Amino acid sequence: MGDTDAVRGWVRDARHIAVLTGAGMSAESGVPTFRDAQTGLWAHFDPQELATESAFRAHPQRVWDWYAHRRDMIRAVLPNAGHAALAAFARQHPGRQTLITQNVDGLHQRAGNTDALALHGSIAEDRWLDVPRACCRLDALEAGHPPRCPVCGNLRRPAVVWFGENLPADALEAAEHAARHCDLMLVVGTSGEVYPAAGLAFTAHQSGARVVIVNPEPTPLDAVAETCLRETAAVCLPVLLG
């Protein structure tokens, strides 16, 4: 168990804070985890077989409809006190916080952190499956599951990072820069098992920053932490950042 008062002092004194969030950040909002979305019809499918480019090319309607199901589930929830605390800190201390998230749910952005670095994309947005041609116009989409270009047939796909795909280069570069130059990194609600995102905590530690883990459960990243706060995001962040 870590010392909350000490961490509050580190937050106060830090010139720049990097915050890395994972699925646990949104748990108290009721956002279903990747596997929790496997209900009803979808209980028969392995989510890892629905989150690859090859799966989408083989069964575009099935994958599109699964993401529509997940979008509906996420649309029904709201940012929690942890999201609100991060957004309030960013407003009150311009330039002192870089928020990096593995989450695709958009709750940080809805809470007010519109410049959050979304390493795994956004489930609320779409992009073209293949490199768009001149005929691929958003104002002329052919409706369907998924929508497509009526001329060349190029499909729209969820703007998330699927298994086997690279993270968006600009977001990853900005996240790595923040990890190298922060004084303090808060690692909130992430399992610490998904790379390269989890590696940011090691980068921060090796660059001389204090690393603080906020997670009710132990994680592999605890080894590089100055302290671990065994609380949830919605409970802990308002105290640390208030």
First to last CA, the chain: 20
Contact status, residue 209 vs residue 183, Cβ threshold 8 Å: yes
Q: How many CA atoms lie within 13 A of 219 on its CB side?
A: 28
Single-letter residue type at 239: V
How far apart (Å, rounded) are the C-alpha atoms in residues 87 and 74?
19
Cis omega (within 30 of 0) for bond into 146: yes
Q: How many CA atoms lie within 13 A of 51 on its CB side?
A: 21
In this structure, the chain runs to a length of 242
- Annotated catalytic, 205? no
DSSP label at 27?
G
Strand bridging mode 156-160 / 121-128 = antiparallel
Q: Which of 93, 120, 145, 181 is catalytic?
A: 120
Contact status, residue 113 vs residue 121, Cβ threshold 8 Å: no
Whose tokens are 């994309």? That residue is 121
DSSP label at 168?
P
Residues forming the active site:
120
